[in-house]
């Protein structure tokens, strides 16, 4: 009987260990499946993001707005497009956001083109912004000063989703008109076959997700979800 009781105790001692092992295995499998699904979702999202931004085209039709903001960084085509909108009377005023503090108006004009009189009357240079968030904050002050209700946002196509999101957060009461510029043929067609545009788009996609996440954490849930909704509908977010 003592032998039987000892065996029973031994079997009882081994059961919790087996249960722990099985539970650990299930948790490990669950973590693996969730990680796999998360990675797959990110990959699908990235492909959709890349296809979307590389398909954006510069508007060809007439544009009418109270003002335009060209965001520095990326290509000079942003500034060139903004100056052309002013000189064509599509917009009465342009903000060039993120100009280096030591860059002169003459140097900007050498890059962007346009008449000197255009810069004197209708072009403002923001020198405080150092990133996309700063661009949005700078634009928010500018549109308030000039009482602008409709704003053309000019930036590279790949940068447009994040720019619009930050602008919507900073100036939710202003109607935004996207004006994307495509600056390289590497983004045409099968962009994913080329390492350089794939790397550039992956970096921008990561920054875009961080912006959306920060917006959710800071309470801009409606704007963040609206941005994601527009993206999934194939519209310019």
Provide the CB-side half-sphere exposure for 90 (13 A, CA): 20
Measuring CA to CA, how many Å separate 112 from each of 76, 119, 149, 205?
7, 11, 25, 28
CB atoms within 10 A of CB 192: 14
Tokens 């919790």 identify what position?
Answer: 16
Q: What pLDDT does 106 receive?
A: 92
| Residue count of the chain | 237
Q: What pLDDT does 4 receive?
A: 43
Q: Is the dihedral of CA 129, 134, 140, 141 positive or negative?
A: negative
Q: What pLDDT does 234 receive?
A: 59
Q: Residue ranges of the chain with pLDDT lower than 50? A: 1-5, 7-10, 12-15
Question: Where does residue 103 fall: left (phi above 0), alpha (psi -120 to 50 degrees), or beta otherwise?
Answer: beta
Measuring CA to CA, how many Å separate 92 from each of 127, 192, 236?
21, 39, 24
Q: pTM to 2 decimals?
A: 0.82
44-71 CB burial, b ≥16 within 10 A, e <16: ebbeebbebbbebeeeeeeeebbbbbbb
User: Are 70 and 97 spatial neighbours (Cβ–Cβ below 8 Å)?
Assistant: yes
Q: What pLDDT does 193 receive?
A: 76
Instruction: Please tell me the distance from the alpha carbon of residue 74 to that of residue 10, in angstroms, as a whole number.
Output: 70
Q: What is the dihedral of CA 214, 217, 223, 227, to 10 degrees?
A: 50
Q: In sequence order, which ranges of the chain are alpha helices (DSSP H)?
A: 2-55, 77-87, 105-112, 116-122, 132-145, 160-170, 195-217, 221-232
Q: What pLDDT does 210 receive?
A: 93
């Amino acid at each position: 009987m003592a032998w039987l009781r000892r065996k029973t105790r031994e079997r009882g001692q081994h059961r919790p260990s087996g249960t722990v092992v099985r539970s650990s295995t299930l948790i490990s499998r669950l973590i693996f499946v969730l990680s796999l699904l998360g990675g797959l979702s990110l990959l699908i999202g990235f492909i959709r993001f890349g296809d979307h931004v590389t398909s954006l085209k510069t508007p060809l039709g007439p544009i009418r707005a109270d003002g335009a903001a060209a965001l520095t960084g990326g290509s000079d085509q942003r500034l060139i497009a903004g100056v052309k909108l002013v000189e064509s009377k599509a917009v009465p005023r342009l903000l060039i956001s993120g100009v280096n503090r030591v860059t002169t108006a003459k140097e900007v004009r050498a890059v962007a083109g346009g008449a000197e009189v255009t810069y004197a009357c209708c072009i403002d240079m923001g020198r405080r912004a150092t990133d996309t968030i700063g661009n949005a904050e700078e634009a928010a002050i500018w549109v308030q000063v000039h009482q602008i209700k409709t704003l053309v946002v000019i930036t590279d196509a790949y940068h447009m989703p994040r720019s619009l999101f930050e602008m919507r957060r900073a100036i939710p009461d202003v109607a935004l008109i996207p004006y994307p510029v495509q600056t390289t043929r590497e983004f045409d067609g099968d962009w994913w076959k080329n390492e350089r545009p794939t790397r550039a788009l992956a970096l921008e996609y990561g920054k875009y997700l961080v912006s959306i996440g920060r917006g959710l954490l800071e309470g801009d849930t409606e704007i963040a979800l609206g941005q994601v909704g527009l993206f999934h509908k194939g519209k310019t977010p």
